[in-house]
Amino acid sequence: MPWTRRHLLTLEELSRAEIDQIHAAARVFKRTLQPGGARVPVLAGRTIVNLFLEPSTRTRLAFDMAAKRLGADVIPFDAASSSTTKGETLRDTAENIQALQADMIVIRHAAAGSPLYLSRILDIPVINAGDGAHEHPTQGLLDTFTMIEHLGDLRGRKVVILGDILFSRVARSNIHALTKLGAAVTLVGPSTLVPDSFTALGVKVSHDLRGALADAEVVMLLRIQHERQAAGHFPSLGEYTSMFGLNKARASWLNPRAIIMHPGPINRGVEIDSELADGERSVILEQVTNGIAVRMAVLFLCAGGRPEQLPT
Ligand code: CP
């Protein structure tokens, strides 16, 4: 089935076949990341603007790396020194970037729906790098890619997502991808951050950490998204950690083969202790590396790349 989308806005709208197609291209691109791997300048002559209006380390750098490995010119956007500080709107900013002959925009923005909005007013592809608490599609793609590398086919695999689900775009994108790939997803955390309404997305909700961990083949930790919470959803960070933080004692409830994931940034000692984040079951830095291959696949496909251009 040929790839037909110009934009990547959400994983909610992708089919399983489309997710498989991105993963398949990412597997090819991952081989090119090895020492001596072939360069793939299929986007030579294209210009990609990384319009990041919220902070980022991993996503922005991985999109930079991905675009450069594909031969594209990458223009970073420095929000602090841009005319957004003088009141220029997102629409005007984006239309000016298009007028400056950009071929593609990668956007991170605090407002849910801002990538969809740009996709409706621009003629160039728009890639969502995280929009508010809505979605972070490339994170969901790289997380599921990493799980498949460790577990194979995800049908029936038990994945626990633990933490601040309510305000997490990473959780939403993972829920959409994992349910399409057939995984059994359980969301765990305090009821204020993991409301029962999430069951409408085809997942289980649990507040029994021990029971959920005992069954898990993957446990994904999420940080508390203070920047999106208007009011406290638990008495204190210390109390959250005492109830739901992953420490050595709680990790002993896990199946010894279970893998530990985190999208970053990590708040060490809050949602996860360092000895687990850095331990042998952690695949956190593999997630980061896989982020380059997955974003190469997304940029390649949305720019109109054809299968015959993929390296063999
Ligand atoms: N996982 C993630 O989105 O990290 P950054 O905020 O550093 O991009």
DSSP the chain: -----S-B--STT--HHHHHHHHHHHHHHHHHTSTTPPP--TTTT-EEEEEE-S--SHHHHHHHHHHHHTT-EEEE--GGGSGGGGT--HHHHHHHHHHTT-SEEEEEESSTTHHHHHHHH-SS-EEEEEETTTB-HHHHHHHHHHHHHHHSS-TT-EEEEES--TT-HHHHHHHHHHHHTT-EEEEES-TTTS-GGGGGGT-EEE--HHHHHHH-SEEEE----GGG-SS-SSS-HHHHHHHH-B-HHHHTTS-TT-EEE--S---BTTTB-HHHHTSTTB-HHHHHHHHHHHHHHHHHHHTT--GGGS--
Determine the residue of 58, 169, 267, 284 to mutate for testing ligand 1's pocket, defined as the one with the most ligand atoms within 8 A of the Cβ atom: 58
Residues 6 or more apart in contact with residue 223 via CB below 8 angstroms: 163, 164, 262, 265, 266, 267, 270, 271
Q: Do the domain assignments include residue 45?
A: yes
Q: Is 263 in the pocket of ligand 1 (CB under 6 A)?
A: yes
Which residues does the chain have with pLDDT short of 70? Answer: 225-232, 235
Q: Do the domain assignments include residue 5?
A: no
Q: Do the domain assignments include residue 4?
A: no
Q: Is 168 in the pocket of ligand 1 (CB under 6 A)?
A: no
Q: How many residues does the chain have?
A: 312
The structure's pTM equals 0.96
Rounded to whole angstroms, the Cα distance separating 67 from 64 reads: 5
Q: In this predicted structure, what is the pLDDT of residue 39?
A: 77
Q: Do the domain assignments include residue 9?
A: no
**Domain shared by 88 and 185, yes or no:** no
Q: Do the domain assignments include residue 8?
A: no
Atom of ligand 1 nearest to the CA of 263: 1
Q: Whose CA is nearest to atom 5 of ligand 1?
A: 56
Rounded to whole angstroms, the Cα distance separating 114 from 266 reads: 26
Buried b / exposed e across 250-260, counting CB within 10 Å, b at 16+? bbebbeeebbb
**Domain shared by 187 and 112, yes or no:** no
- Residue 228 Cα to ligand 1 middle (Å): 15
* Domains contained in the chain, number: 2
Contact yes or no for 5/301 (Cβ under 8 A)? yes
Q: Is 59 in the pocket of ligand 1 (CB under 6 A)?
A: yes
**Domain shared by 258 and 296, yes or no:** no
Q: In this predicted structure, what is the pLDDT of residue 307?
A: 83
Residues 6 or more apart in contact with residue 96 via CB below 8 angstroms: none
**Domain shared by 240 and 143, yes or no:** yes
**Domain shared by 142 and 264, yes or no:** yes
Contact yes or no for 293/145 (Cβ under 8 A)? yes
**Domain shared by 154 and 282, yes or no:** yes
**Domain shared by 103 and 202, yes or no:** no
Mean pLDDT for all residues in the chain: 95
Q: Is 227 in the pocket of ligand 1 (CB under 6 A)?
A: no
Q: Do the domain assignments include residue 305?
A: yes
Residue 43: name the closest of 66, 11, 76 by CA. Answer: 66
Rounded to whole angstroms, the Cα distance separating 191 from 207 reads: 7
Provide the CATH number for the domain around residue 181. Answer: 3.40.50.1370
**Domain shared by 249 and 179, yes or no:** yes
Q: In this predicted structure, what is the pLDDT of residue 230?
A: 52
* Count of other CB atoms within 10 angstroms of residue 270: 18
Rounded to whole angstroms, the Cα distance separating 80 from 74 reads: 18
Q: Do the domain assignments include residue 113?
A: yes
- Residue 312 Cα to ligand 1 middle (Å): 31
Cα angle for residues 73, 76, 77 (degrees, 5° grid): 140
**Domain shared by 55 and 147, yes or no:** no
Determine the residue of 52, 54, 56 to mutate for testing ligand 1's pocket, defined as the one with the most ligand atoms within 8 A of the Cβ atom: 56
Q: Do the domain assignments include residue 112?
A: yes
Q: In this predicted structure, what is the pLDDT of residue 232?
A: 66
Cα angle for residues 306, 115, 164 (degrees, 5° grid): 110
Rounded to whole angstroms, the Cα distance separating 233 from 191 reads: 9
**Domain shared by 171 and 300, yes or no:** no
Domain around 122: 16-136+290-309
- Residue 165 Cα to ligand 1 middle (Å): 16
Q: In this predicted structure, what is the pLDDT of residue 296?
A: 98
Contact yes or no for 19/44 (Cβ under 8 A)? no
- Residue 130 Cα to ligand 1 middle (Å): 9
**Domain shared by 254 and 234, yes or no:** yes
Q: Is 211 in the pocket of ligand 1 (CB under 6 A)?
A: no
**Domain shared by 132 and 147, yes or no:** no
